[in-house]
Amino acid sequence: MISIGEGWDDLVAALLGSDAPESVYVVGGTDSGKTTLCRYLVDEAAARTRTAYVDCDTGQSRLGPPTTEGMALYPGTPEPYLRFVGSTSPGGHFIQTLTGAKRLVEKAAECSARATVIDSPGLVAGGVGTEFQFQMIDLLRPTRIVALQRGRELERLLANFARHPEIAIHRVPVSPAAVARTATGRRCYREERFAFYFADARSQEVLLRGLGLQGRVPDMRNQRGVAGRLVSLNDAENFVLALGIVEDLHPGGRRLEVFAPPFDPAAVASVKFGSIYLDLGAAPGSMESCRP
């Protein structure tokens, strides 16, 4: 059950009251209840019109495994569209986060979504957070911004759009029902999601000849530091076919062995290297790591 917060029903009415397609960008700090509000908006809107949910929180992702942004359509489609950012945080991956979000919002429009709800990353603090959120909003061009605030912590960001003729701003207080989670709890959630995603994985081979290489691409002539790296195997539009954990890079960089859920090797157009390493057999709290 979702505990409905103050002003939520007004947001639903605004979202459904327009003859033109609407997109809502929900912004707020960590543990402000963004995802719960997004779920409520999607559930209510989808009962009456074709609705897209765009999940941009790569650390606490709901549609795909951590490190990905996703877009799902309701009434439902078999699988969400995913974009691989390569990290569980926007830091150091701003371009990948922005580009992935933009492509997913565009895909929602291509799929004739009349309402699009965007769950933003939780990075809002300080000058870096404000600038990052400004760039996200300026690029995605939502028709509405929903700001979840405990005080006035988002006003510096909102001032940039206060006079925008095509963006309405809705200020919503953080619900008392919003639950704070510890860093340990967040890491535990990521590990559970990774374990679930790779539950049916097996060793598979990818022939790299003719494929594009993206992200934190290693020296393909040197096997050092490649094993354990998280990668995505992408289709021709750079949407994720499957994530994989590198097991081996064969001499000369011609073949890559990955531990991944089943995928069609013939559909792979590019491989994107992330910045984290996964050890599925590690002790709790130690599954993911970053290395130089």
For 252, other C-beta atoms within 10 Å of its C-beta total 9
Q: Which residues, 6+ apart, have CB-to-CB distance to 204 below 8 Å?
A: 244, 257, 258, 259, 260, 262, 263, 265
Residue 42's domain is classified under what CATH number? 3.40.50.300
Are 215 and 147 in a shared domain? Answer: no
Q: Is the pLDDT of residue 1 over 60?
A: no
Instruction: Give yes or no for a contact between 141 and 24, defined as CB atoms under 8 angstroms apart.
Output: no
Q: Please check whether residues 163 and 80 belong to one and the same domain.
A: yes
| Paired tokens of 164 | 């925008």
User: pLDDT, tens digit, for every residue of 150-201?
Assistant: 889 999 999 999 999 999 999 988 877 767 788 899 999 999 999 999 999 9
Question: What pTM was estimated for this model as a whole?
Answer: 0.93
Q: Which of 173, 204, 238 is the last residue of a domain?
A: 173
Three-state DSSP state, 70: strand
Confidence of residue 290 (pLDDT cuts 50, 70, 90): confident
Distance CA 16, CA 13 (A): 5
Helices (H), 75-170: 94-110, 126-140, 155-158
Compute the distance between CA of residue 176 and CA of residue 166 in angstroms, rounded to an integer.
31
- Going by pLDDT thresholds of 50, 70 and 90, the confidence category of residue 21 is very high
67 and 138 part of one domain: yes
Quote the number of domains for the chain. Answer: 2
C-alpha closest to that of 62 among 90, 34, 25, 87: 34
Domain range enclosing 247: 183-289
* CA-wise closest residue to 69 among 57, 86, 51: 57
Peptide bond into 75 cis (omega under 30): yes
Residue 82 lies in a domain: yes
Report yes or no on 178 lying in a domain.
no
Find where tokens 């997109």 sit: 23
13-22, 173-182, 280-289: which has the minimum mean pLDDT? Answer: 173-182
Domain boundary pick from 173, 206, 238: 173
- Whether residue 1 lies inside any domain: the answer is no
